[in-house]
Chain A
């Protein structure tokens, strides 16, 4: 796995020392909040409703067991014994004290982690497919490119004051598990005539004006990646609107100028700066790629797996739901659900973090991943070891068999934590999961993505949920608006608004009506909710949501 070099280490340590001094000056009164706020945000420290929140980057979602153990230690020592994994492949601590944050950052630096550029109008934590390096359908591991982009963008002098935040995601597979079409730049590694290169997509985003990203270059030779990315960001840096925060993201720039004009400007800029990249970046990339070389896979006997699969229905259900195909024979990708029915999506206790770290060390080539769907992945597990892994997960309350199902919900922190929220999202997720667990319907319903945000900023990706839920404040009462038919994969679609919102006590019954309508309308068990929706459109679902209610009111 990739390790920080001396430069990175010194940079991170330096940053911690600087921030320690800044916190000291804030506490002794020599810095006002107005002066301090941009400094704390640069180091991932937010102020929420009940406490500070520290957001720690997990670049391209990759962790080793030592780092996971350290995250657990930090949770115990300075927080409330748990952490919250987010859709941006970060971990958030919800209860740090201002005084302790420099120590927390120091402890992170001890394992090569930090909170730099997790906030502010900079290029944020670069995210990647959480199955990177393991997925059977992959052209190439996206993480070396993500790491190259991280190195290029960190403290890049030209890009510290962009018009707005800037998010990049990379996938190495055709199946898009990194939501690249909802990012400022989405990168897909592709192969053309035996050559590896990139498809570059720009201008995607969610938030108050959701947009699907557009292809700006269908095939970019791999050597041109950094100059091309730099050209995009610098065109945006000049053209992006600084007069209106709500129109400042690159999605609006692309929308206002048109993709063709943006492409022309980017190509022009690219032609100008390309020669400045002497190839050092490519040498760097080669070095990074070597650090990401796959572990030595050895196909051990899968006997115990077959036996457990035949004998233990609980194991079988988990295996059918939570495993994905690995590129190496005899291996599997394990998704550990952080969505136990009724629990907070994405929360893990320090004890659970330690169990997952130990499993990675013992059975998983020491690798862990955090998915944007707020779950944890053991990317490389021998099939023969799966029964042992499952048993350990079960003992730690981590063996919920619901990956990709209705209770595998993405929910942002909402008004339980976030100062910007207009309503809560976590309790809605908890209630939906609990309800469908009671109904014992979720395996019958099959693949379904519910995504919930507590305000229009859309941190919970609700626009790209098959069922999206947006929490709003309607005249001082929590109200939930439903969107349908959204999709965050390679066939990205922004969901359609179904109609008026629902009160907090009516949202779960509304979702239940939608699901019952789907089960009735689908052509067979093989047709997913999204396929049925695409076949029939909004209207029958709208009836399911509203007709009955109207009849009641009449």
Chain B
């Protein structure tokens, strides 16, 4: 039996700025994970990843990351992905700056 599919988002880094971005339902990219498309089907996830990987001029290194539905939208599960929504812990730089 294959493992049960857990919800995912497609994420990558922006080509110019290098910061974390997430794929939205309408094929755009957002800097706010809560706006991302939450993927609940494995096959659909593969299609979305393929789409993201073809976006050479916007996104670098796209991959599927575990996510869960929060109050405002998808939220990270793993601590690495939490850091990516926030920025480093030693300086108030990155996304937390504008939050």
Q: Taking beta carbons and an 8 Å cutoff, which residues of A are in contact with B?
A: 26-27, 29, 32-33, 47-52, 80, 82, 94-99, 344, 347, 415-417, 421, 424, 426-427, 430, 473, 476-478
Contacts and interface: CB of A to CB of B under 8 A. Distances in A.
Contacts of A33: 56, 60-61
A478 B82 CA distance: 13
B18 A415 contact: no
A26 B15 contact: yes
Contacts of B90: 344, 347, 416, 426-427, 430
B19 interface: yes
Interface stretch (B42-50, B67-75, B91-99): B91-99
Q: Is the interface of B mostly helix, strand, loop or mixed?
A: loop
B89 A427 contact: yes
Contact of B20 (A50, A94, A97): A50
Contact of B61 (A47, A51, A421): A47
A94 B90 CA distance: 12
Given A415-B83, A416-B88, A426-B89, A50 B61 contact: no
17 contacts: A27-B16, A29-B56, A48-B18, A49-B20, A49-B84, A50-B88, A52-B18, A80-B91, A80-B93, A94-B93, A97-B16, A97-B18, A98-B15, A98-B18, A344-B91, A427-B89, A473-B80
B10 to A, nearest CB: 15
Interface string B1-39: 000000000000101111110000000000000000000
Nearest to B86: A50
A429 to B, nearest CB: 9
Contacts of A47: 13, 18, 60-61
Nearest to B54: A32
Contacts of B78: 476
Contacts of B91: 80, 82, 344
Contact of A477 (B19, B56, B79): B79
Contacts of B84: 49-50
Contacts of B60: 33, 47
B18 A50 contact: yes
Contacts of B16: 27, 97-99
Contacts of A427: 89-90
Most buried by B among A26, A51, A97, A99: A51
A27 B17 CA distance: 12
Contacts of B15: 26-27, 98
A424 B90 CA distance: 10
B6 to A, nearest CB: 12
Contacts of A416: 83, 88-90
Nearest to A52: B18
A98 B15 CA distance: 7
A416 to B, nearest CB: 4
B35 to A, nearest CB: 18
B76 to A, nearest CB: 11
Contacts of A344: 90-91
A94 B89 CA distance: 13
A424 B87 CA distance: 12
Contacts of A476: 77-79
A426 B88 CA distance: 10
Contacts of A424: 83, 89
Which 9 pairs show the lowest CB-CB distances between chains A and B?
A416-B88, A51-B18, A52-B18, A29-B57, A50-B94, A344-B90, A426-B90, A32-B56, A98-B16
A452 B47 CA distance: 40
A99 B95 CA distance: 20
Contact of B79 (A32, A96, A99, A478): A478
Contacts of B17: 51, 97-98
Contacts of A32: 56
Nearest to A478: B79
Nearest to B15: A98
A98 B20 CA distance: 14
Most buried by A among B18, B19, B57: B18
Contacts of B77: 476
A415 B77 CA distance: 16
Nearest to B56: A32
A538 B72 CA distance: 51
Contacts of A95: 93
Nearest to A26: B15
